[in-house]
Amino acid sequence: MKASLLLALVCTAVLAAGARADSPGEPETLVRKVQEYAQKATAVAKTAFSMVQESEAAQQARRWLADNADLAKQRLAGRKEQLVELWKRMPAA
């Protein structure tokens, strides 16, 4: 993820330098071009994230985590019951 962000920043810098070379006297044009690029990059990133979230691998991972979380809760409840029974058996000091 950090590499993608770095790439986006580098591309923004290159775009800004190119825009500056095209119109050195118009900073508004430069700002507008950078804003347009940022909007396009944001839209692409949102699309990519939604594709990853909807992918079969992500769905399987979520199911696996949910199943194992339930198993962990069951095991924890069992250990808790064992500790309660052990505590009841301990003689009072």
What CA–CA distance (Å, rounded) separates 32 from 23? 12
Report the distance separating Cα 73 and Cα 35, nearest Å: 48
Does residue 12 contact residue 34 with C-beta atoms inside 8 Å? yes
Q: Please report which confidence band the pLDDT of residue 2 belongs to, taking 50, 70 and 90 as the band edges.
A: low
pTM exceeds cut of 0.75: no
Q: Give the pLDDT confidence of 50-68 residue by residue, as tens digits.
A: 888 888 888 898 889 988 9
- Give, for 12, the enclosing helix (H) or strand (E): helix 2-22
Q: Are 12 and 38 within 8 A, CB to CB? A: yes
* pLDDT single digits (tens) 7-63: 777 777 777 666 655 555 567 787 888 888 888 888 888 888 888 888 888 889 888
- Angle between helix axes 27-54 and 56-89 (nearest 10 degrees) is 60
